[in-house]
A and B are shown apart, each in its own frame.
Chain A
Amino acid sequence: MSRIPDPRVAVPPVDRSKLPAPGAGRAFRFPDIEKSVLPGGLRVWTIAHPSIPLTSLLLLIKRGAAADPRGREGLAAMTVDMLDEGSGDRTAIQLHEALAAIGAQLDSDIGPDAALIGTTVLSRFAERALHLLSDMVVRPSMREADFTRVRQLRLHRLVQLRDMPAALADRTFTNLLYGSHPYGHTPLGNERSLADMSVEDVRAFHADVLRPSETTLVAVGDCDHATMVRLAADAFADWRGTAAAAAPFDDELPHPARLNVIPRPGAPQSEVRIGHVAVPRNTPDYHALVAANMVLGGQFVSRINLNLREDKGFTYGARTSFDFRQQPGPFMLQVSVHTEATGRAIEESIAEIGDIRGRRPVTADELAMGVAALTRGYARSFETAEQIARAVTQLVLHDLPDDYFAQFVPAVERITPADVMRAAERHLHPDRLTTLIVGDLEIIGASLSELGLGEPVVLPAAV
Chain B
Amino acid sequence: MNIPFEKYTLANGLDVLLHEDHGCPIVAVNLWYHVGSKNEVPGRTGFAHLFEHLMFEGSAHHDHGYFQPLQGAGGTLNGSTNADRTNYWEVVPANALELALWMESDRMGFLLPALTDAKFTNQRDVVLNERRQNYENRPYGLAPMVMLAALFPPDHPYHWTTIGEIDDLHAARLDDVRQFFSTYYHPANASLALAGDIDPGQALALARAYFEDIPAGPAVAAVRPPMPTLTGETRLLHEDRVELPRLYMAWHTPAMFAAGDADLDLAADILANGKTSRLYKRLVFEQRIATDVSAAQNSREVSGFLQIAATAAPGHHLTEIETAIIEEVAGLAVDGPSADEMDRGRVQAESQFMFRLQSVGGFGGKSDQLNAYNTLLGDPAYFPRDLERYQVVTRASLMGTVDRYLQNNRRVALSVVPRGRPELGLPGSTTAEVS
- Of A104, A301, A337, the residue contacting B68 (CB under 8 A) is A301
**A156 surroundings in chain B (CB, below 8 A):** 244, 291, 313-314
| Closest chain A CB from B306 CB (angstroms) | 20
- Of A2, A93, A104, A152, the residue contacting B8 (CB under 8 A) is A2
A192: interface (CB < 8 Å): no
B23: interface (CB < 8 Å): yes
- For window 374-399 of chain A, which residues contact chain B by CB distance below 8 Å? 375-380, 382-386
User: How many angstroms between the C-alpha atoms of A162 and B139 in the bound complex?
Assistant: 10
Size of chain B's interface in residues, with CB distance under 8 A? 90
**A315 surroundings in chain B (CB, below 8 A):** 126, 129, 133
- Of A12, A313, A377, A382, the residue contacting B76 (CB under 8 A) is A377
A101 in contact with B344 (CB, 8 Å):
yes
Known A96-B275, A267-B137; contact A309-B68, beta-carbon cutoff 8 A: no
A270 (CB) vs chain B CBs: closest residue = B137
Instruction: Of the listed stretches A47-55, A132-140, A201-209, A281-289, name the one at the interface; the rest are far from the partner chain.
Output: A47-55
B285 (CB) vs chain A CBs: closest residue = A93
| Closest chain A CB from B63 CB (angstroms) | 12
**B232 surroundings in chain A (CB, below 8 A):** none
A157 in contact with B291 (CB, 8 Å):
yes
Known A93-B281, A100-B344, A101-B343; contact A5-B204, beta-carbon cutoff 8 A: yes
| Closest chain A CB from B289 CB (angstroms) | 11
B156: interface (CB < 8 Å): no
Instruction: Of the listed stretches A14-22, A66-74, A322-330, name the one at the interface; the rest are far from the partner chain.
Output: A14-22
User: How many angstroms between the C-alpha atoms of A17 and B102 in the bound complex?
Assistant: 11
**B93 surroundings in chain A (CB, below 8 A):** 22, 25-26, 376-377, 379-380
**B275 surroundings in chain A (CB, below 8 A):** 92-93, 96
Binary contact track A83-98/B, C-beta < 8 Å → 1, others 0? 0000000001100110
User: How many interface contacts (CB-CB < 8 Å) are there between A and B?
Assistant: 233
A368: interface (CB < 8 Å): yes
User: How many angstroms between the C-alpha atoms of A163 and B132 in the bound complex?
Assistant: 15
- Of A93, A162, A163, A269, the residue contacting B129 (CB under 8 A) is A269
- For window 98-116 of chain B, which residues contact chain A by CB distance below 8 Å? 98-99, 102-103, 106, 110
A19 (CB) vs chain B CBs: closest residue = B69
A23: interface (CB < 8 Å): yes
**A375 surroundings in chain B (CB, below 8 A):** 74
B73 in contact with A372 (CB, 8 Å):
yes
A20 in contact with B99 (CB, 8 Å):
yes
Binary contact track A303-320/B, C-beta < 8 Å → 1, others 0? 000000111011110000
Chain A residues near B (Cβ < 8 Å): 1-5, 9-14, 16-17, 19-28, 51-54, 92-93, 96-97, 100-105, 120-122, 149, 152-153, 156-157, 159-160, 162-165, 266-269, 271, 299-301, 309-311, 313-316, 336-338, 368-369, 372-373, 375-380, 382-386
Q: Can you list 10 pairs linking A and B with CB atoms under 8 Å apart? A: A4-B9, A4-B11, A54-B358, A101-B344, A122-B354, A313-B123, A376-B75, A383-B24, A384-B359, A386-B358
